[in-house]
Amino acid sequence: MDSSERTSLKPNTVLHPGETVLEYLEFSGWSQRDLSRRTGLTPKTISEICGGKAPITPPTGLAFEKAFRRPAHFWLNLQRQFDEAEARRRQHANSLQWLEWAQNFPIEEMKQLKFLVAEGTSDAEALLNFFGVSSPASWVSVWKASQVAYRQTRKFKTKEESIAAWVRETEIIARELEVEKFDEERLRSSLDELRQLTRRDAGDIIDPIQRICASAGVAVVLVPELRNTGISGCARWLTDKKALVGLTLRYKTDDQLWFTFFHEIGHILLHRNKRSFVIDNAAEDLSDRVIDPEMQQYETEANRFSSDTLIPPRDLADFIRKGVFTNDSIHEFAETLGVGPGVVVGRLQSEGILARYQGNKLKQKLNWRFTDER
């Protein structure tokens, strides 16, 4: 623990207001029994207050106001200051445990990636403020209550604290976006407009994606991934009337981005009442076995939704039947469908029709710079 942490965590020493009562008794030349007679409070109550074992309550403050001719708020403020100091003292007693908890989070990486973490305080305090909780125990309660479902495969070793930090950043950003009430019909009717954005330069798609989705009640945010998360995206309901799609900035080509985006939209439309919070990892191979068999079903459905939304099955089957997969034929097919050619290449690669190295010139390579702008 560095000196700044020791300073920020060290509580101030504030005397119990009973010490002030004793000073007033001495100044007035009264005994505790005298004060008992003047206030109507029992000798035991006066003794416990003077001994720092009992608080000054509002009725006691009013009684002292008359006896000592000092307003009740004077005595109540002394008690409030003492209570606050005691709370900080108890918090300080747990500070070592809190610092151990904080060490589980990648806070330096979070700061480097411009996550909304406060500066000028201890790591523990910064994390508690970031998550909006009062203690590590509260954080555990909030995170467990989120009931997150993972598309977790055996390929990824993840760390829960890093995943939680990424999720919280998406939540903070999403809550700042102006979003209409969720409208399933409007979202479904917007799918073709969103699909047509695959033809545009990848550097110009984020604003229209956010605008279109916001009009249907879905906040779309991009947050750089943290190490030990393996996250490609998430779908979540922030409220009954506001959904969230979070995407990482790990994508190298446009086909990966678009497949993941529509995959998360699939979770929003298909699994609202089944899985209200899903985190997907970035499996390169969509056939990779998911550990949770129940999640396998949801992931298969979201994968199919994404694939079929981008390229209708009948159109794909007709194109494959022709058996010509040159760059020119792929580009022409993409133009006919109204999608980017990279999307077609990615689909043909996932189907095993093209090798992973074939057709990649038709994909857009992504060079995200959003972290510097946030």
Q: Which of 273, 275, 282, 281 is nearest to 252 (CA)?
A: 282
Distance CA 54, CA 46 (A): 9
Distance of alpha carbon 263 from the chain centroid? 20
DSSP state, 15?
Answer: -
- Token pair belonging to 350: 């996932």
Integer Cα distance of 41 and 28 in angstroms: 18
Contacts of 180 (CB under 8 A, 6+ apart): 214, 215, 216, 217
Q: Within the chain, where are the H helices?
A: 3-9, 17-28, 32-39, 43-50, 58-68, 72-93, 95-102, 107-112, 123-131, 136-145, 160-175, 184-189, 191-196, 206-215, 254-270, 293-310, 313-322, 327-337, 341-350, 370-373
SS3 call for 95: helix
Please state the pTM of the whole predicted model. Answer: 0.75
Higher pLDDT: 226 or 281? It is 226
Residue 369 has a pLDDT of 57
d(CA 232, CA 240): 24
Give Dmax (Cα) for the chain.
107
Query: Quick one: pLDDT band at residue 372, thresholds 50, 70, 90?
Result: very low
Q: Say which DSSP state 253 is in.
A: B
| CA distance between the termini of the chain | 30
pLDDT tens per residue, range 359-368:
999 999 887 6
Taking only the tens place, the pLDDT of each residue in 310-344 is: 999 999 999 999 999 999 999 999 999 999 999 99
Asked if 238 contacts 171 with a C-beta cutoff of 8 angstroms, the reply is yes
Q: Kindly report, residue by residue over 96-122, the tens digit of the pLDDT.
A: 678 889 999 999 999 999 998 888 778
In DSSP notation, 277-336 reads EEEEE--SSTTSPBSSHHHHHHHHHHHHHHHHHHS-HHHHHHHHHHT---HHHHHHHHHH
Element at 218 (helix H, strand E): strand 218-222
Spatial separation of the C-alpha atoms in residues 347 and 363, rounded to whole Å: 11
Does the pLDDT at position 93 exceed 90?
A: no
